[in-house]
């Protein structure tokens, strides 16, 4: 029986009960012993998007789940899933090709948000579009266009769900004259109590979408809570600020078979 959990990506490298093998895009680059560990273990931790597909095909469990990996940094899929499941989300529409892009102003009034729909993170692919010049600049660099209604907020809530429970929740406050609350863009973390309704919404969404390792960003506008997006590659600054030891938390959750 294998006592150590087996991981590919390095996220659990500081966990004492995890053996991290690293990521080899050519499976033949693993040693024979490593290859057998991968084949024989019941579950692989942090397999990467590439291997999550393959392990799912062969019936091997992963953490995060295959369903979590399917939505990594893909705002288009996330939005479609939110709409399918009737999860509150700012009004959003995707526009493909020049003909569709030319109709954006039939659906949205300035100001609105434009995002890079795939592969962007830490708020760097988010643009506040206030006029036609800014819209044209956005469209010249992004395709397809991912357009979302602008909600005038100065803070949001990050709720981190691991396994089947919330492990942390905190506020992110935008810097002065900044519409994004990301810590990477000068936002600050505030550890005041988070509304239970926001936490309930995050947990409901994670379970409905079958995501088991995710930071869900939620905002409140006109007394309603909306999920902005899900981050499967969330930072750990919020854990550090709260004095939570992420590595020991993950060790414990693995030991207790929560993940």
Taking the mean position of all CA atoms in its chain, how far away is CA 173?
A: 19
Q: What is the pTM assigned to this prediction?
A: 0.94
Q: How confident is the model at residue 182 (pLDDT cuts 50, 70, 90)?
A: confident
Backbone torsions φ then ψ of 70, nearest 5 degrees: -65, -20
Residue whose token pair is 């030991």: 255
pLDDT given at position 123: 60
Q: What's the token pair of residue 257? A: 């078979």
When pLDDT is averaged across residues 91-95 and rounded to a whole number, the result is 98
Cis peptide bond prior to 60, omega within 30° of 0:
no
CB atoms within 10 A of CB 133: 9
Rounded to whole angstroms, how far apart are CA atoms 132 and 134? 5
pLDDT digits (tens, 9 = 90+) for 2-54: 468 999 999 999 999 999 999 999 999 999 999 999 999 999 999 999 999 99
pLDDT given at position 159: 98
Q: Report in angstroms the alpha-carbon separations of 251 from 17, 66, 108, 228.
A: 6, 21, 47, 30
Q: What's the token pair of residue 124? A: 């760097």
pLDDT given at position 180: 86
Residue 246 has pLDDT above 80, yes or no: yes
pLDDT given at position 178: 82
Rounded (5°) CA angle 243-200-252: 40
Closest CA to 110 of 127, 123, 96, 95: 127
Q: What size, in residues, is the chain?
A: 259
pLDDT given at position 166: 98
pLDDT digits (tens, 9 = 90+) for 120-179: 766 678 999 999 999 999 999 999 999 999 999 999 999 999 999 999 999 999 988 888
Domains of the chain: 5-63 (no CATH), 91-149 (3.30.1490.20), 155-255 (3.30.470.20)
Q: Are 172 and 158 in contact (CB under 8 A)?
A: yes
Q: How confident is the model at residue 181 (pLDDT cuts 50, 70, 90)?
A: confident
- Non-local CB neighbours of 215 within 8 Å, separated by 6+ positions: 158, 159, 160, 161, 230, 231, 232, 234, 235
pLDDT given at position 122: 63
When pLDDT is averaged across residues 100-106 and rounded to a whole number, the result is 98
pLDDT digits (tens, 9 = 90+) for 187-221: 899 999 999 999 999 999 999 999 999 999 999 99
Backbone torsions φ then ψ of 67, nearest 5 degrees: -65, -35
**Which residues on neighbouring strands pair with residue 231, listed in sequence order?**
215
Rounded to whole angstroms, how far apart are CA atoms 91 and 108? 9
């Amino acid at each position: 029986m294998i006592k150590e959990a087996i991981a590919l990506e390095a996220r659990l490298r500081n966990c004492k009960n995890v053996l991290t093998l690293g990521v080899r895009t050519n499976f033949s680059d693993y040693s024979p012993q490593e290859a057998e560990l991968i084949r024989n273990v019941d579950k692989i931790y942090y397999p990467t998007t590439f291997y999550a597909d393959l392990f799912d095909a062969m019936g091997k469990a992963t953490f995060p789940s295959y369903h979590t990996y399917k939505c990594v940094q893909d705002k288009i899929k996330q939005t479609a899933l939110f709409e399918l499941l009737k999860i509150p989300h700012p009004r959003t529409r995707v526009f493909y090709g020049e003909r569709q892009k030319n109709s954006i102003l039939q659906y949205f009034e300035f100001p609105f948000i434009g995002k890079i729909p795939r592969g962007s993170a830490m708020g760097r692919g988010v643009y506040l579009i206030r006029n036609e010049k800014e819209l044209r600049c956005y469209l010249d660099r992004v395709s397809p266009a991912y357009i979302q209604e602008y909600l005038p907020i100065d803070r949001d809530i990050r709720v981190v769900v691991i396994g089947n429970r919330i492990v942390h929740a905190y506020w992110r406050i935008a810097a002065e004259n900044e519409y994004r609350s990301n810590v990477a863009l000068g936002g600050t973390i505030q550890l005041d109590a988070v509304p239970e309704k926001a936490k309930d919404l995050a947990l409901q969404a994670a379970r409905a979408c079958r995501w088991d390792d995710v930071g869900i960003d939620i905002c409140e506008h006109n007394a309603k809570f909306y999920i902005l997006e899900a981050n499967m590659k969330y930072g750990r600054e919020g854990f550090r600020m709260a004095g939570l030891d992420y590595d020991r938390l993950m060790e414990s959750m693995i030991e207790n078979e929560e993940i």
